[in-house]
Structure 1
């Protein structure tokens, strides 16, 4: 019988960790804290020769490494973003109650304090898995259309049918777009090559969504 959990804090986070259950689920709620450090899935510009290695050190792998021995895979971890693509937390599904109990012990052993909340399976299903293969483009002009995104991404391999654009309601409104790539490596290449590139005189910030 599988168990489902949500962790709202990664190794470098300062907000809550939420562990949730299915309807048959986990009975305990764990309240823990961690020293404040900003959690972010927004990568900094890495040196060209170590870009891929740096990219592989994501919040997902941080969680899996921290919970070593719990039989987790990358498919068991999702980053929970809010409407502005700021991470709210990390969701983790556990393959068994034994794995969940082992995770609690691992957290305690490493001296990290977290808050663990309960939830049900529907919350997991609502979280879109970006898996390091989706790129967020921030700062597009209000008048930008999908063809402008395609021109910006010239030379990159991506799924043109995956382009989604939306207007950001800010003091000076601009557009954001998400684009799906065939692999994490391709998504990272876009970050390396296109971050802070120009589209219609606007500088575009490129982020890889985990």
Structure 2
């Protein structure tokens, strides 16, 4: 995969997901990051995740790729050239302990292979994307379904927030948040990411 600079992730961007985990609904984007070592493209292969650190949860997301440096006032249509679907894997038990202590989430979010993406597709524009749902199938069963129209903070808001607070430029990715339905994975699970009815990427999970 070509060089990716920064991986920004937006937490609690779907109201029902925030509520299912008992979290407050944020008043501004809740952003964390993952290291580039977390990134892997799902091309049907076996992907290794850590065993023995508690439950690992899947979080399916719509992902955007930034094509150029941000300038004030730019919107998604000005900056985004491609889109993908992704999974933000989370060590949920580890995250819960970190949250109790008020510590950053990196240990729960940044481990190798914790940021899966499909192959990237041309970004057709925000309005067009709102016409198509994305979903995650686990062993053939749909466990998550969402639409970017349901996000608390839209693409333009997230782009502006990331640019102002962290900087935003060519090669950056934004994982835009997950809808309700997150749950745990097990060794041998087969995961498929769908855009409408089209499978954009898939993988098999190996815990080791």
Normalising by structure 1, report the TM-score: 0.29
Q: Which has the higher contact order (CA 8 A, sep 6+)?
A: 2
**Higher helix fraction (1 or 2):** 1
Largest Rg, 1 or 2: 1
**Higher strand fraction (1 or 2):** 2
